[in-house]
Amino acid sequence: MPSGPITLTVGQVDELNRQLADMRHDINNHLSLIVAALELIRVKQKKGVVIEAWERLKTAARQTGLDEAAAKDLETKLKENLDQNERMIATLGEQPIRINEAIRKFSKEFEQAVGITRPGK
């Protein structure tokens, strides 16, 4: 870090501002892909569909003589796993908003610190 004040030229500030804008754009694109993937995961992992499939499997297993205690244990673990996945997906879904807010805050502070003004603001 510099030991004292530094001076930036208008060109240097302009270049830093351009790089910041490019970074915001790139991060927003990456976050959009994450959100889209998250929505696909949500659709594919509908809890009701998984439980329904499990019930069909359990019925078939009873007919073939599956140990009832083992089936119940597996069902408990399946439900716990689904619940945990739902919580993790919800937490993951909150992150793009938090990241965007942090970027917005930093950008605003950066622009104020170096005197960047935007037309209409």
Q: Per residue of the chain (121 residues), give pLDDT as tens.
A: 889 898 999 999 999 999 999 999 999 999 999 999 988 888 777 777 777 777 777 787 777 777 777 777 888 888 888 888 889 988 999 999 999 999 999 999 999 998 888 777 6
And the tokens for 33? 């892909």
60: left (phi over 0), alpha (psi -120 to 50) or beta: alpha
